[in-house]
Structure 1
């Protein structure tokens, strides 16, 4: 029996291997580009997303942000639900 051993870890911090940008998702959910940009600047910010990279659970993040912006709860949840 053959086993493969991997001893290399690749961190794709620059988006070279996985090109993901929340605009790819939210352009499908917003009819107005300016409204989408406001949402990303004020609600689902880059800093908010980075906190999940630092270890905060998505459940906690979504609950906290949805409590602060209940009118955007479905859009906030979509950030995680539609991540493939």
Structure 2
């Protein structure tokens, strides 16, 4: 069994807060094929990656909309109704984070997130201020799963290898962390994460559920 980690690193999207742009478009468009056609015609996730690297939030989305006038109004929704894509919170994950902090375990965020979109999210989710350290890609100008972002976390925190326990919903991000010796958890739901934290000695079973 690996040693008990010294710090726990949470991704934010789909670990602590649901991130589902497709859900908004599915609700607005008459059928799923229409949404699929939009996402096939316009690389919206690639657009979002540029924002996550530090590109301006509104300007990047509106420029993409102007480049695809047939989808202009739909693309602008990525900015105008962004908060509907980033909701709701995943409450048991937040309980686990707070339980760790209550026991003195440092808790970090490592998230692909734009500068302005993260600032906006903070106005809706003040709990985003509860981390001991925050590593937000828009400020770092590099995104997961690129090697450099993990190096920057190690350099800033002074921790590396199996001292770190990283939770993310994307397999490629997990694999990049594991290649550096980090302990990892591929997030598929908070119940399994709670059980894993107990197994790793991070929390007693009594603290892993509300």
In structure 2, the gaps of 5 or more residues are 1-7, 84-210
Where 2:82 maps in the other structure, the secondary structure is coil
The correspondence of residues 45-56 of structure 1 with structure 2, limited to 5 A, is: 45-56=44-55
Per-residue CA distance 1:29-82 (angstroms, 9 max, x = gap): 110201101212321521111111111112221232122111211111111111
Q: 1:5 — aligned with what?
A: none
Q: Point out the structure with max Rg over C-alpha.
A: 2
Q: State the 1:10 CA deviation.
A: 4.4
Is residue 39 of structure 2 the alignment partner of residue 40 of structure 1? yes
Q: 2:81 — aligned with what?
A: 82
Are the counterparts in 2 of residues 44 and 76 from structure 1 also a CA contact under 8 Å?
Answer: no
**TM value normalised by structure 2:** 0.33
Q: Which has the higher strand share?
A: 2
**More deviation, 23-32/37-46:** 37-46
**TM value normalised by structure 1:** 0.74
How many corresponding residue pairs? Answer: 76
Q: 1:60 — aligned with what?
A: 59
Coordinate RMSD, CA, aligned: 2.0
List structure 1 segments (4+ residues) > 6 angstroms apart after TM superposition.
Answer: none
Is residue 17 of structure 2 the alignment partner of residue 18 of structure 1? yes
